[in-house]
Amino acid sequence: MVWIKLQLKPDSLKLLSISRLTQKSAQICYFSALKWLFFVDENCQNCAPKIGKKEFKKITGWRNDSLLHAFASEEVGWLKYDAQCDEIEILDFDVHFSVSAKRRAVEQKRKARQRDKSGTLGPDCTGTKNGLDKIREDKKQIKTYTPTSPSAAHDGNSLKPKLARKKPPTQPASETMTGATKPRQPDLVWDAVCEVFNLTADTKRDKTRIGGIVRDLKRKLNGLAPMPSIRRAEAAYRKIMPPGTIFTPEAMLKHWGACMADGES
């Protein structure tokens, strides 16, 4: 899925510099820059792609070299172009496009939303700020034991609060009867995706990502064998995409129709 930490507007200083260097309008430069940023974000995971000038023109739809030189200028500083090797290097890739950078950006937005919510809540019906004082008072209230006989009233233990006993957690029926959970049923699509793209479900985030890929892929397979279909899509993808393009599961799902049509021809 395309995800860009975009902080670019048509009237930004860098975009105005690109417009001045290319002698094109800011709107045209803006859409060409978006094409380039979407390509980098969609086809790269944790490394910048190594492409040449010809591929850059094809991606951005620019006929001459003015946009490439504008991106590589000191005023913009997005690229570094080596004319001898015909190789483009993306500057500050880890800062804007890496997985860790996007994770930090999402975490910052989440914390900012939490701060806004905590600051915008008003007083509740009792007049306490955010109702926090009332919650604290409710937690402090403990159910006490009421003596039923005069002798119990003079007992020192009767003055101690009576705490509710916590019930032990119940285990699922499958664990209590067999002593172990049932093994995962084999899923050919899941296994094929993990094998082709070298994915592992070590964390909850990884399981969520693989599960979404498998769900969308099952809809597109429509009963076809998963492993041969993925291999055929990979061969067609590398044929129709520019050299150096990384084959990711998200890119495969996005271009599935074109890959299948090219594989059948």
CB atoms within 10 A of CB 213: 21
From residue 115, how far is each of 112, 120, 122, 123 by CA, in Å? 5, 9, 14, 17
Q: Is 17 helix (H, G, I), strand (E, B) or coil?
A: helix
Q: Return the pLDDT at 19.
A: 86
Domain boundary among 96, 119, 134: 96
Choose one of 72, 96, 120: the last residue of a domain. Answer: 96
The b-or-e profile of 102-111 (16+ CB within 10 A means b, else e) is: eeeeeeeeee
Q: The domain spanning residue 31 has which CATH number? A: 1.10.10
Give a yes or no: residue 31 inside a domain: yes
83, part of any domain: yes
Residues with Cβ within 8 Å of 35's Cβ and at least 6 positions away in sequence, in order, are 59, 60, 61
The reply to whether the predicted model has a pTM over 0.75 is: no
| Pairing mode, strands 79-82 and 87-90 | antiparallel
Q: Is residue 126 part of a domain?
A: no
Residues contacting residue 236 through CB under 8 Å, at least 6 positions apart:
258, 259, 260, 262, 263
How would you class 90 by CB atoms within 10 Å of its CB: exposed for 0-12, middle for 13-18, buried for 19 or more? buried
Domain count, the chain: 2
Residue 119 in any domain: the answer is no
How far apart, in whole angstroms, are the C-alpha atoms of residue 110 and residue 132?
22
Domain annotation covers residue 128: no
Contact 76, 14 (CB under 8 A): yes
Q: pLDDT tens digits, the chain, 265 residues: what are they?
A: 344 555 556 567 888 888 888 988 888 888 888 887 788 777 765 555 667 888 888 888 888 888 988 888 888 888 888 888 888 887 776 665 666 666 776 777 778 888 887 765 444 444 455 555 555 666 555 545 455 555 554 555 544 555 556 666 665 554 445 555 566 678 899 999 999 898 998 999 999 999 999 999 998 888 889 899 999 988 988 888 888 888 899 988 988 888 888 766 5
**Domain edge (last residue) among 36, 65, 96:** 96
**CB burial string 165-192: b at 16+ within 10 A, e below:** eeeeeeeeeeeeeeeeeeeeeeeebbeb
pLDDT of residue 43: 73
**Residue 2 has what pLDDT?**
43
Residue 57 lies in a domain: yes
Q: What was the pLDDT predicted at 1?
A: 39
Q: In the beta sheet, which residues pair with residue 88?
A: 51, 81
Q: 217: domain range?
A: 188-264
247 domain residue, yes or no? yes
Residue 233 lies in a domain: yes
